[in-house]
Amino acid sequence: MQMKKAIILMMTALTTGLVYTGCKEAFLEKNNPNTVSDESFYKTANDAVRAVNAAYGALQLFGTYAREYYMMTDLVADDIAPDPGADDWAEQRRNFLTTSSNGMAYNIWRDMYAGVFRANTVIEKVPGIPMEEGTRNRILGEAHFLRAYYYFDLVRLWGEVPVVTGTSSDDANLFQPKKTVAEVYGQIVADLSTALELLPPKQEYGAGDLGRATQGSAAGLLGKVYVYRKEYALAADLLGKLINGTYGAYRLVENYGDNFREDTENNSESVFEVQFSSKEATGNVWSGGGTEGHVKGAEFSISRGFGNAYVSQYLLDAYAPEDTERKEATVVALPGNPKAVHGYEIAKYIRPGSEFQDQVSSGINIRVLRLADLLLLHAEALNELGQTAQAYGPLNLVRGRAGLAPLTAATLPEPAQFTPGLAGSDEQARLRDAIVKERFVELAVEENRWFDLVRWGIAEPVMKARGRSSFVRGKDEYLPIPQIELDVNKRLAQNPAYQ
Protein backbone atom coordinates (compact mmCIF):
# COMPACT_ATOMS: atom_id res chain seq x y z
CA MET A 1 0.00 0.00 0.00
CA GLN A 2 2.92 2.35 0.58
CA MET A 3 3.84 1.95 -3.08
CA LYS A 4 0.45 3.38 -4.07
CA LYS A 5 0.89 6.42 -1.85
CA ALA A 6 4.46 7.03 -3.06
CA ILE A 7 3.33 7.17 -6.68
CA ILE A 8 0.45 9.50 -5.88
CA LEU A 9 2.53 12.00 -3.91
CA MET A 10 5.26 12.27 -6.53
CA MET A 11 3.28 12.48 -9.77
CA THR A 12 2.34 16.13 -9.53
CA ALA A 13 5.58 17.36 -8.00
CA LEU A 14 7.80 15.76 -10.61
CA THR A 15 5.77 16.46 -13.69
CA THR A 16 4.90 20.07 -12.93
CA GLY A 17 8.38 20.83 -11.71
CA LEU A 18 10.25 19.33 -14.64
CA VAL A 19 8.04 20.37 -17.53
CA TYR A 20 9.11 23.98 -17.26
CA THR A 21 12.86 23.57 -16.78
CA GLY A 22 13.50 24.64 -20.36
CA CYS A 23 11.86 28.07 -19.95
CA LYS A 24 14.24 31.01 -20.33
CA GLU A 25 12.19 33.87 -18.90
CA ALA A 26 14.11 35.66 -16.17
CA PHE A 27 11.42 35.23 -13.55
CA LEU A 28 11.51 31.47 -14.05
CA GLU A 29 15.27 31.37 -13.67
CA LYS A 30 15.07 32.58 -10.09
CA ASN A 31 15.80 29.87 -7.55
CA ASN A 32 12.47 28.82 -6.08
CA PRO A 33 12.97 26.35 -3.21
CA ASN A 34 9.40 25.05 -3.65
CA THR A 35 9.89 23.74 -7.19
CA VAL A 36 11.77 20.76 -8.56
CA SER A 37 14.35 21.13 -11.33
CA ASP A 38 17.09 19.08 -12.94
CA GLU A 39 19.64 21.09 -10.95
CA SER A 40 18.08 20.38 -7.56
CA PHE A 41 16.86 16.83 -8.22
CA TYR A 42 18.49 13.51 -9.17
CA LYS A 43 21.04 13.74 -6.38
CA THR A 44 20.19 10.86 -4.05
CA ALA A 45 18.84 7.34 -4.06
CA ASN A 46 15.58 8.70 -2.69
CA ASP A 47 15.34 11.05 -5.65
CA ALA A 48 15.78 8.09 -7.98
CA VAL A 49 12.99 6.17 -6.27
CA ARG A 50 10.70 9.18 -6.50
CA ALA A 51 11.49 9.58 -10.18
CA VAL A 52 10.64 5.97 -11.03
CA ASN A 53 7.47 6.28 -8.94
CA ALA A 54 6.45 9.10 -11.28
CA ALA A 55 7.04 6.77 -14.24
CA TYR A 56 4.55 4.35 -12.69
CA GLY A 57 2.21 7.28 -12.12
CA ALA A 58 1.56 7.69 -15.84
CA LEU A 59 -0.38 4.42 -15.65
CA GLN A 60 -2.89 6.26 -13.44
CA LEU A 61 -3.51 9.16 -15.80
CA PHE A 62 -6.82 10.01 -17.47
CA GLY A 63 -5.62 8.71 -20.84
CA THR A 64 -4.39 5.41 -19.43
CA TYR A 65 -6.01 3.29 -16.72
CA ALA A 66 -7.93 6.04 -14.95
CA ARG A 67 -10.39 6.03 -17.84
CA GLU A 68 -9.65 6.29 -21.54
CA TYR A 69 -7.60 3.16 -22.19
CA TYR A 70 -10.31 0.65 -21.34
CA MET A 71 -12.95 2.77 -23.06
CA MET A 72 -11.03 2.41 -26.33
CA THR A 73 -10.07 -1.25 -25.94
CA ASP A 74 -12.88 -3.07 -24.13
CA LEU A 75 -15.69 -1.29 -25.96
CA VAL A 76 -14.41 -2.11 -29.45
CA ALA A 77 -14.35 -5.88 -28.90
CA ASP A 78 -17.26 -8.33 -28.73
CA ASP A 79 -17.44 -9.21 -25.04
CA ILE A 80 -19.16 -5.96 -24.15
CA ALA A 81 -20.67 -3.07 -26.11
CA PRO A 82 -21.20 0.64 -25.43
CA ASP A 83 -24.62 1.95 -24.57
CA PRO A 84 -26.00 3.99 -27.49
CA GLY A 85 -25.76 7.08 -25.29
CA ALA A 86 -22.13 6.48 -24.36
CA ASP A 87 -19.21 8.79 -25.06
CA ASP A 88 -19.23 9.92 -28.71
CA TRP A 89 -15.53 9.16 -29.09
CA ALA A 90 -16.10 5.62 -27.79
CA GLU A 91 -18.98 5.26 -30.24
CA GLN A 92 -16.66 6.32 -33.07
CA ARG A 93 -14.25 3.59 -32.07
CA ARG A 94 -16.98 0.98 -31.74
CA ASN A 95 -18.34 1.79 -35.21
CA PHE A 96 -14.89 2.01 -36.83
CA LEU A 97 -15.38 5.69 -37.58
CA THR A 98 -12.50 7.04 -35.51
CA THR A 99 -10.94 10.18 -36.94
CA SER A 100 -7.66 11.92 -36.19
CA SER A 101 -9.58 14.46 -34.08
CA ASN A 102 -10.86 11.82 -31.65
CA GLY A 103 -10.05 13.26 -28.23
CA MET A 104 -10.03 9.93 -26.44
CA ALA A 105 -7.38 8.54 -28.76
CA TYR A 106 -5.30 11.68 -28.31
CA ASN A 107 -5.52 11.42 -24.51
CA ILE A 108 -4.17 7.87 -24.65
CA TRP A 109 -1.32 8.86 -27.01
CA ARG A 110 -0.42 11.86 -24.84
CA ASP A 111 -0.38 10.00 -21.54
CA MET A 112 1.40 6.92 -22.87
CA TYR A 113 4.18 9.15 -24.17
CA ALA A 114 4.24 10.97 -20.84
CA GLY A 115 5.05 7.59 -19.32
CA VAL A 116 7.75 7.01 -21.93
CA PHE A 117 9.34 10.39 -21.14
CA ARG A 118 9.34 9.72 -17.40
CA ALA A 119 10.94 6.32 -17.93
CA ASN A 120 13.50 7.86 -20.30
CA THR A 121 14.39 10.41 -17.63
CA VAL A 122 15.05 7.68 -15.07
CA ILE A 123 17.18 5.68 -17.51
CA GLU A 124 19.21 8.77 -18.37
CA LYS A 125 19.63 10.32 -14.90
CA VAL A 126 19.84 7.45 -12.43
CA PRO A 127 23.19 5.94 -13.53
CA GLY A 128 24.95 9.11 -12.34
CA ILE A 129 23.42 9.11 -8.86
CA PRO A 130 25.57 7.62 -6.08
CA MET A 131 23.69 4.71 -4.49
CA GLU A 132 23.89 1.03 -3.69
CA GLU A 133 24.26 -1.00 -6.90
CA GLY A 134 21.35 -3.31 -6.21
CA THR A 135 18.99 -0.37 -5.72
CA ARG A 136 20.24 1.32 -8.89
CA ASN A 137 19.78 -1.86 -10.92
CA ARG A 138 16.26 -2.35 -9.61
CA ILE A 139 15.22 1.24 -10.41
CA LEU A 140 16.68 1.03 -13.90
CA GLY A 141 15.00 -2.33 -14.42
CA GLU A 142 11.66 -0.82 -13.41
CA ALA A 143 12.13 2.06 -15.86
CA HIS A 144 13.03 -0.28 -18.75
CA PHE A 145 9.98 -2.43 -17.96
CA LEU A 146 7.67 0.59 -17.87
CA ARG A 147 9.01 2.04 -21.11
CA ALA A 148 8.46 -1.34 -22.76
CA TYR A 149 4.93 -1.50 -21.40
CA TYR A 150 4.01 1.94 -22.73
CA TYR A 151 5.41 1.12 -26.16
CA PHE A 152 3.62 -2.24 -26.15
CA ASP A 153 0.30 -0.43 -25.81
CA LEU A 154 1.25 2.22 -28.35
CA VAL A 155 2.26 -0.31 -31.01
CA ARG A 156 -0.86 -2.39 -30.41
CA LEU A 157 -3.12 0.65 -30.76
CA TRP A 158 -1.37 2.54 -33.59
CA GLY A 159 1.08 0.16 -35.23
CA GLU A 160 3.94 2.33 -36.44
CA VAL A 161 4.82 5.01 -33.85
CA PRO A 162 7.86 7.17 -33.03
CA VAL A 163 10.37 5.54 -30.68
CA VAL A 164 11.81 8.21 -28.41
CA THR A 165 14.45 7.03 -25.95
CA GLY A 166 16.07 10.34 -24.95
CA THR A 167 15.02 13.37 -22.93
CA SER A 168 16.58 16.19 -24.94
CA SER A 169 14.31 19.10 -25.83
CA ASP A 170 15.99 19.36 -29.23
CA ASP A 171 13.65 19.02 -32.19
CA ALA A 172 15.61 16.02 -33.45
CA ASN A 173 14.64 14.10 -30.30
CA LEU A 174 11.12 15.41 -29.79
CA PHE A 175 9.92 15.31 -33.38
CA GLN A 176 10.77 11.92 -34.77
CA PRO A 177 9.24 9.96 -37.65
CA LYS A 178 7.47 6.67 -37.12
CA LYS A 179 9.33 3.42 -36.72
CA THR A 180 8.09 0.22 -38.30
CA VAL A 181 6.16 -2.20 -36.14
CA ALA A 182 9.16 -4.52 -36.15
CA GLU A 183 11.42 -1.70 -34.97
CA VAL A 184 9.04 -0.75 -32.16
CA TYR A 185 8.91 -4.35 -31.00
CA GLY A 186 12.69 -4.49 -31.22
CA GLN A 187 12.88 -1.67 -28.66
CA ILE A 188 10.31 -3.41 -26.48
CA VAL A 189 12.24 -6.69 -26.52
CA ALA A 190 15.50 -4.88 -25.76
CA ASP A 191 13.96 -3.04 -22.80
CA LEU A 192 12.33 -6.16 -21.39
CA SER A 193 15.52 -8.17 -21.80
CA THR A 194 17.36 -5.51 -19.80
CA ALA A 195 14.62 -5.44 -17.18
CA LEU A 196 14.76 -9.22 -16.87
CA GLU A 197 18.47 -8.98 -16.02
CA LEU A 198 18.14 -6.09 -13.55
CA LEU A 199 14.89 -6.71 -11.66
CA PRO A 200 14.67 -8.91 -8.57
CA PRO A 201 12.01 -11.61 -8.14
CA LYS A 202 8.93 -10.52 -6.24
CA GLN A 203 9.89 -12.31 -3.02
CA GLU A 204 12.81 -9.89 -2.58
CA TYR A 205 10.48 -6.90 -2.28
CA GLY A 206 9.28 -5.74 1.10
CA ALA A 207 5.64 -5.05 1.90
CA GLY A 208 6.07 -1.34 1.19
CA ASP A 209 7.18 -2.07 -2.36
CA LEU A 210 4.37 -4.38 -3.43
CA GLY A 211 3.24 -3.42 -6.90
CA ARG A 212 6.63 -2.65 -8.38
CA ALA A 213 7.71 -4.45 -11.54
CA THR A 214 9.55 -7.67 -10.80
CA GLN A 215 11.64 -10.14 -12.72
CA GLY A 216 8.44 -12.12 -13.21
CA SER A 217 6.72 -9.02 -14.64
CA ALA A 218 9.48 -8.63 -17.22
CA ALA A 219 9.45 -12.34 -18.10
CA GLY A 220 5.66 -12.40 -18.38
CA LEU A 221 5.40 -9.35 -20.59
CA LEU A 222 8.32 -10.48 -22.76
CA GLY A 223 6.68 -13.88 -23.18
CA LYS A 224 3.46 -12.17 -24.20
CA VAL A 225 5.35 -10.02 -26.70
CA TYR A 226 6.94 -13.12 -28.20
CA VAL A 227 3.50 -14.66 -28.73
CA TYR A 228 2.28 -11.47 -30.40
CA ARG A 229 5.32 -11.63 -32.69
CA LYS A 230 4.67 -15.35 -33.36
CA GLU A 231 8.08 -16.22 -31.96
CA TYR A 232 6.57 -19.27 -30.34
CA ALA A 233 9.76 -21.12 -29.41
CA LEU A 234 11.05 -18.14 -27.44
CA ALA A 235 7.62 -17.65 -25.86
CA ALA A 236 7.23 -21.30 -24.85
CA ASP A 237 10.67 -21.40 -23.27
CA LEU A 238 10.33 -18.14 -21.32
CA LEU A 239 6.73 -18.66 -20.18
CA GLY A 240 7.51 -22.23 -19.19
CA LYS A 241 10.31 -20.98 -16.93
CA LEU A 242 8.04 -18.37 -15.37
CA ILE A 243 5.28 -20.89 -14.72
CA ASN A 244 7.80 -23.29 -13.16
CA GLY A 245 9.04 -20.65 -10.71
CA THR A 246 12.32 -19.52 -12.28
CA TYR A 247 11.35 -15.86 -11.95
CA GLY A 248 9.39 -15.99 -8.72
CA ALA A 249 6.57 -17.99 -7.17
CA TYR A 250 3.24 -17.55 -8.97
CA ARG A 251 0.09 -19.63 -8.72
CA LEU A 252 -3.58 -19.27 -9.58
CA VAL A 253 -5.69 -17.99 -6.72
CA GLU A 254 -8.40 -20.40 -5.67
CA ASN A 255 -11.22 -17.89 -6.09
CA TYR A 256 -11.36 -16.39 -9.58
CA GLY A 257 -13.10 -13.26 -8.27
CA ASP A 258 -10.11 -12.43 -6.05
CA ASN A 259 -8.44 -11.04 -9.17
CA PHE A 260 -10.82 -8.09 -9.25
CA ARG A 261 -11.28 -7.04 -5.63
CA GLU A 262 -9.56 -4.39 -3.55
CA ASP A 263 -8.81 -6.61 -0.55
CA THR A 264 -7.02 -9.28 -2.61
CA GLU A 265 -4.63 -7.13 -4.62
CA ASN A 266 -1.05 -8.11 -5.51
CA ASN A 267 -1.91 -11.75 -4.89
CA SER A 268 -0.11 -14.90 -6.03
CA GLU A 269 -1.70 -14.76 -9.50
CA SER A 270 -0.78 -11.15 -10.15
CA VAL A 271 2.28 -10.65 -12.33
CA PHE A 272 1.78 -6.90 -12.73
CA GLU A 273 -1.04 -4.56 -11.85
CA VAL A 274 -1.66 -0.82 -11.89
CA GLN A 275 -1.88 0.49 -8.34
CA PHE A 276 -4.88 2.64 -7.38
CA SER A 277 -6.15 3.92 -4.06
CA SER A 278 -9.53 5.28 -3.03
CA LYS A 279 -8.15 6.34 0.37
CA GLU A 280 -5.81 8.91 -1.17
CA ALA A 281 -8.39 10.33 -3.56
CA THR A 282 -9.03 14.08 -3.57
CA GLY A 283 -11.54 14.08 -6.39
CA ASN A 284 -12.06 12.12 -9.58
CA VAL A 285 -10.81 12.12 -13.15
CA TRP A 286 -13.58 14.42 -14.36
CA SER A 287 -13.47 16.99 -11.54
CA GLY A 288 -9.77 17.71 -11.86
CA GLY A 289 -8.96 16.00 -8.58
CA GLY A 290 -6.28 13.40 -8.08
CA THR A 291 -5.96 10.37 -10.32
CA GLU A 292 -5.58 8.06 -7.35
CA GLY A 293 -8.75 6.19 -8.27
CA HIS A 294 -10.11 5.01 -11.60
CA VAL A 295 -13.66 5.14 -12.94
CA LYS A 296 -14.05 1.78 -14.67
CA GLY A 297 -16.91 0.90 -12.35
CA ALA A 298 -18.59 4.25 -12.84
CA GLU A 299 -18.37 3.93 -16.62
CA PHE A 300 -19.40 0.29 -16.98
CA SER A 301 -21.84 -0.38 -14.13
CA ILE A 302 -25.50 0.08 -15.02
CA SER A 303 -26.96 -0.07 -11.51
CA ARG A 304 -24.21 1.99 -9.84
CA GLY A 305 -22.73 4.07 -12.63
CA PHE A 306 -23.33 5.64 -16.02
CA GLY A 307 -24.08 2.31 -17.65
CA ASN A 308 -21.94 3.11 -20.66
CA ALA A 309 -21.44 -0.57 -21.44
CA TYR A 310 -23.57 -3.67 -21.53
CA VAL A 311 -22.73 -7.37 -21.72
CA SER A 312 -22.87 -8.95 -25.16
CA GLN A 313 -24.92 -12.03 -25.86
CA TYR A 314 -21.80 -13.62 -27.38
CA LEU A 315 -20.05 -13.51 -24.01
CA LEU A 316 -23.07 -14.88 -22.16
CA ASP A 317 -23.37 -17.74 -24.66
CA ALA A 318 -19.67 -18.59 -24.30
CA TYR A 319 -19.96 -19.71 -20.67
CA ALA A 320 -20.54 -23.40 -20.14
CA PRO A 321 -23.45 -24.19 -17.79
CA GLU A 322 -21.01 -25.37 -15.10
CA ASP A 323 -18.76 -22.28 -15.45
CA THR A 324 -20.72 -20.47 -12.76
CA GLU A 325 -17.95 -19.01 -10.58
CA ARG A 326 -16.19 -17.33 -13.46
CA LYS A 327 -19.43 -16.05 -14.99
CA GLU A 328 -20.69 -14.63 -11.68
CA ALA A 329 -17.42 -12.76 -11.13
CA THR A 330 -17.62 -11.25 -14.61
CA VAL A 331 -21.31 -10.43 -15.04
CA VAL A 332 -24.31 -10.15 -12.74
CA ALA A 333 -27.99 -10.48 -13.57
CA LEU A 334 -29.93 -7.22 -13.74
CA PRO A 335 -33.48 -8.07 -14.79
CA GLY A 336 -35.96 -5.38 -15.70
CA ASN A 337 -33.43 -2.66 -16.51
CA PRO A 338 -33.71 -1.54 -20.15
CA LYS A 339 -30.01 -0.62 -20.29
CA ALA A 340 -29.11 -4.21 -19.40
CA VAL A 341 -29.81 -5.25 -22.97
CA HIS A 342 -29.39 -8.98 -22.34
CA GLY A 343 -30.36 -8.95 -18.68
CA TYR A 344 -26.86 -8.61 -17.23
CA GLU A 345 -24.37 -5.95 -16.26
CA ILE A 346 -20.60 -6.09 -15.79
CA ALA A 347 -19.34 -7.23 -12.39
CA LYS A 348 -15.55 -7.06 -12.82
CA TYR A 349 -13.92 -4.10 -11.07
CA ILE A 350 -17.23 -2.91 -9.63
CA ARG A 351 -16.77 -1.88 -6.00
CA PRO A 352 -19.16 -3.18 -3.35
CA GLY A 353 -21.78 -0.68 -2.31
CA SER A 354 -24.79 0.82 -3.99
CA GLU A 355 -23.66 4.41 -4.33
CA PHE A 356 -22.29 6.02 -7.48
CA GLN A 357 -19.57 7.64 -5.38
CA ASP A 358 -18.22 4.16 -4.62
CA GLN A 359 -17.22 3.87 -8.28
CA VAL A 360 -15.89 7.31 -9.23
CA SER A 361 -12.63 7.00 -7.31
CA SER A 362 -12.16 3.25 -7.25
CA GLY A 363 -9.08 1.92 -5.54
CA ILE A 364 -9.29 -1.54 -7.10
CA ASN A 365 -5.98 -2.23 -8.80
CA ILE A 366 -6.24 -3.01 -12.51
CA ARG A 367 -4.58 -6.38 -13.13
CA VAL A 368 -2.85 -6.01 -16.48
CA LEU A 369 -0.80 -9.20 -16.39
CA ARG A 370 -1.87 -12.26 -14.46
CA LEU A 371 -0.81 -15.88 -14.46
CA ALA A 372 -3.98 -17.21 -16.13
CA ASP A 373 -3.28 -15.01 -19.16
CA LEU A 374 0.28 -16.33 -19.34
CA LEU A 375 -0.78 -19.96 -18.92
CA LEU A 376 -3.10 -19.61 -21.91
CA LEU A 377 -0.36 -17.90 -23.92
CA HIS A 378 1.97 -20.76 -23.03
CA ALA A 379 -0.63 -23.27 -24.23
CA GLU A 380 -1.03 -21.28 -27.44
CA ALA A 381 2.72 -21.17 -28.08
CA LEU A 382 3.10 -24.91 -27.51
CA ASN A 383 0.17 -25.70 -29.78
CA GLU A 384 1.49 -23.47 -32.57
CA LEU A 385 4.84 -25.24 -32.31
CA GLY A 386 3.09 -28.53 -32.94
CA GLN A 387 3.53 -29.61 -29.31
CA THR A 388 -0.20 -30.04 -28.96
CA ALA A 389 -0.04 -32.83 -26.38
CA GLN A 390 1.94 -30.56 -24.03
CA ALA A 391 -0.43 -27.60 -24.58
CA TYR A 392 -3.29 -29.24 -22.67
CA GLY A 393 -1.45 -28.87 -19.35
CA PRO A 394 -1.46 -25.05 -18.96
CA LEU A 395 -4.89 -24.78 -20.60
CA ASN A 396 -6.43 -27.26 -18.17
CA LEU A 397 -4.94 -25.48 -15.16
CA VAL A 398 -7.05 -22.46 -16.08
CA ARG A 399 -10.12 -24.56 -16.81
CA GLY A 400 -9.67 -26.53 -13.60
CA ARG A 401 -9.78 -23.39 -11.46
CA ALA A 402 -13.10 -22.58 -13.15
CA GLY A 403 -14.47 -26.01 -12.26
CA LEU A 404 -14.43 -27.30 -15.83
CA ALA A 405 -13.40 -30.78 -16.87
CA PRO A 406 -9.98 -31.08 -18.52
CA LEU A 407 -9.92 -31.07 -22.28
CA THR A 408 -8.38 -33.99 -24.16
CA ALA A 409 -8.07 -34.84 -27.83
CA ALA A 410 -11.22 -36.92 -27.45
CA THR A 411 -13.28 -34.13 -25.88
CA LEU A 412 -12.24 -31.19 -28.07
CA PRO A 413 -15.17 -29.47 -29.80
CA GLU A 414 -15.50 -29.45 -33.55
CA PRO A 415 -13.46 -26.80 -35.42
CA ALA A 416 -14.82 -23.30 -35.94
CA GLN A 417 -17.65 -24.11 -33.57
CA PHE A 418 -16.94 -21.02 -31.51
CA THR A 419 -14.74 -18.53 -33.36
CA PRO A 420 -15.45 -17.23 -36.89
CA GLY A 421 -12.34 -17.20 -39.03
CA LEU A 422 -10.75 -20.31 -37.57
CA ALA A 423 -10.79 -23.42 -39.69
CA GLY A 424 -9.35 -26.92 -39.68
CA SER A 425 -10.40 -30.30 -38.40
CA ASP A 426 -7.17 -31.71 -37.02
CA GLU A 427 -6.35 -31.74 -33.31
CA GLN A 428 -4.14 -28.67 -33.47
CA ALA A 429 -6.86 -26.58 -35.13
CA ARG A 430 -9.52 -27.74 -32.67
CA LEU A 431 -7.27 -26.99 -29.71
CA ARG A 432 -6.52 -23.56 -31.18
CA ASP A 433 -10.24 -22.83 -31.21
CA ALA A 434 -10.57 -24.04 -27.61
CA ILE A 435 -7.73 -21.74 -26.48
CA VAL A 436 -9.35 -18.79 -28.25
CA LYS A 437 -12.63 -19.48 -26.45
CA GLU A 438 -10.88 -19.92 -23.11
CA ARG A 439 -9.18 -16.55 -23.44
CA PHE A 440 -12.55 -14.98 -24.27
CA VAL A 441 -14.24 -16.11 -21.06
CA GLU A 442 -11.21 -16.04 -18.74
CA LEU A 443 -10.06 -12.55 -19.71
CA ALA A 444 -13.36 -10.87 -20.56
CA VAL A 445 -13.46 -7.10 -19.93
CA GLU A 446 -9.69 -7.05 -19.24
CA GLU A 447 -8.48 -5.18 -22.34
CA ASN A 448 -7.25 -8.35 -24.08
CA ARG A 449 -9.97 -9.46 -26.48
CA TRP A 450 -9.53 -6.83 -29.19
CA PHE A 451 -5.78 -7.22 -29.34
CA ASP A 452 -6.22 -11.00 -29.49
CA LEU A 453 -8.57 -10.75 -32.47
CA VAL A 454 -6.15 -8.46 -34.29
CA ARG A 455 -3.04 -10.58 -33.71
CA TRP A 456 -4.87 -13.76 -34.70
CA GLY A 457 -5.91 -12.07 -37.95
CA ILE A 458 -9.61 -12.75 -37.37
CA ALA A 459 -10.89 -9.30 -36.39
CA GLU A 460 -12.70 -8.95 -39.72
CA PRO A 461 -14.64 -12.25 -39.73
CA VAL A 462 -15.51 -11.90 -36.04
CA MET A 463 -16.73 -8.32 -36.43
CA LYS A 464 -18.80 -9.16 -39.48
CA ALA A 465 -20.26 -12.22 -37.77
CA ARG A 466 -21.33 -9.85 -34.97
CA GLY A 467 -23.11 -7.62 -37.46
CA ARG A 468 -20.42 -4.94 -37.57
CA SER A 469 -19.85 -4.90 -41.32
CA SER A 470 -18.17 -1.48 -41.38
CA PHE A 471 -14.85 -3.01 -40.28
CA VAL A 472 -12.19 -2.56 -42.98
CA ARG A 473 -9.25 -4.95 -42.99
CA GLY A 474 -5.92 -3.12 -43.08
CA LYS A 475 -7.42 0.01 -41.52
CA ASP A 476 -9.49 -0.59 -38.43
CA GLU A 477 -6.98 -2.78 -36.63
CA TYR A 478 -5.24 0.49 -35.69
CA LEU A 479 -6.15 4.03 -34.73
CA PRO A 480 -5.35 7.17 -36.74
CA ILE A 481 -2.51 9.26 -35.37
CA PRO A 482 -3.97 12.30 -33.55
CA GLN A 483 -4.11 15.39 -35.75
CA ILE A 484 -2.61 17.57 -33.04
CA GLU A 485 0.54 15.44 -33.20
CA LEU A 486 0.69 15.68 -36.98
CA ASP A 487 0.36 19.46 -36.75
CA VAL A 488 3.26 19.74 -34.32
CA ASN A 489 5.56 17.05 -35.72
CA LYS A 490 6.03 17.56 -39.44
CA ARG A 491 8.14 14.39 -39.66
CA LEU A 492 5.20 12.30 -38.56
CA ALA A 493 2.99 10.74 -41.23
CA GLN A 494 -0.60 9.61 -40.80
CA ASN A 495 -1.29 5.88 -40.95
CA PRO A 496 -1.84 5.18 -44.68
CA ALA A 497 -5.40 3.90 -44.39
CA TYR A 498 -6.47 7.20 -42.76
CA GLN A 499 -4.78 9.52 -45.27
Contact 1, 50 (CB under 8 A): no
What dihedral angle (degrees, nearest 10) is formed by the CA atoms of 18, 21, 27, 32?
50
Q: Average model confidence (pLDDT) for the chain? A: 88
4-36 pLDDT per residue, tens: 544 443 443 344 333 322 222 222 233 444 456
CA proximity to 439, closest of 333, 344, 315, 332: 315
267-298 pLDDT per residue, tens: 999 999 999 887 654 555 655 445 578 888 87
* Average pLDDT of span 373-397: 98
94-122 pLDDT per residue, tens: 899 999 999 999 999 999 999 999 999 99
pLDDT value of position 12 = 37
Higher pLDDT, 416 or 9: 416
312-364 pLDDT per residue, tens: 999 999 999 999 999 999 999 999 888 888 999 999 998 876 566 667 778 89
Q: Kindly indicate the confidence band of residue 408, based on its pLDDT and cuts at 50, 70 and 90.
A: very high
Q: Kindly indicate the confidence band of residue 303, based on its pLDDT and cuts at 50, 70 and 90.
A: confident
Supply the pTM of this predicted model. 0.92
